[in-house]
């Protein structure tokens, strides 16, 4: 099974780093093995009720000094619709989506910055303040 490295961010600011192999947008529950848990630990069961976003990442460390670019490379064509997401906590993401529809629980966004540590992000619509196609 594919193990996806994720960083789960809650609306209250907490975060959990780990791996999952059963996250699907249409399921209310998924499981995570914490990156800090000892080998053989049980999986944590999470629901999307108090989550902000699930970041599918290249690595857990990232680069705290790096600020993702908030614009598209004009030399490259974007796949999907360009979108701007402002979370309730003020965080801004710019990227592309193929799955945003008003009224859905959430949607995936791929950051505009190809050098981002984030490969894709599942945004919980309830955690957003503003969503605009650009």
What order do you get walking across the sheet with 81-87 strand by strand? 44-47, 29-34, 15-20, 4-10, 51-57, 118-124, 106-111, 92-97, 81-87, 128-133
Q: Which pLDDT belongs to residue 1?
A: 67
Cα separation, 62 vs 70, in Å, equals 17
Short-list 58, 49, 127, 126, CA closest to 90: 127
For the chain, give every domain's residue range. Answer: 4-133
CB 122 within 8 A of CB 108: yes
d(CA 58, CA 45): 23
Tokens of 21: 């192999």
| Residue with token string 């064509």 | 77
d(CA 85, CA 72): 15
Identify the pLDDT of residue 7. 97
Query: What is the chain's pLDDT, residue by residue, as a tens digit (134 residues)?
Result: 678 999 999 999 999 999 999 999 989 899 999 998 888 788 999 987 899 999 999 999 877 788 899 999 888 888 999 999 999 999 999 999 998 998 999 999 999 999 999 999 999 999 999 999 99
């Amino acid at each position: 099974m594919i193990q996806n490295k994720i960083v789960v961010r809650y609306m209250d600011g907490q975060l959990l780093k780990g791996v999952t192999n059963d996250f699907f947008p249409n399921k209310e529950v998924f499981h995570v093995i914490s990156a800090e848990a000892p080998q053989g630990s049980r999986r944590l069961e999470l629901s999307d009720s108090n989550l902000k976003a699930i970041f599918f990442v290249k690595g857990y460390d990232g680069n705290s000094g790096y600020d993702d670019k908030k614009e598209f490379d004009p030399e490259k064509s974007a796949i999907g619709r360009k979108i701007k997401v402002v979370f309730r906590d003020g965080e801004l993401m710019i990227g592309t989506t193929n799955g945003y529809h008003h009224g859905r629980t959430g949607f995936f966004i791929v950051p505009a910055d190809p050098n981002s540590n984030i490969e894709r992000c599942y945004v919980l619509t309830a955690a957003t303040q503003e969503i605009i196609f650009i």
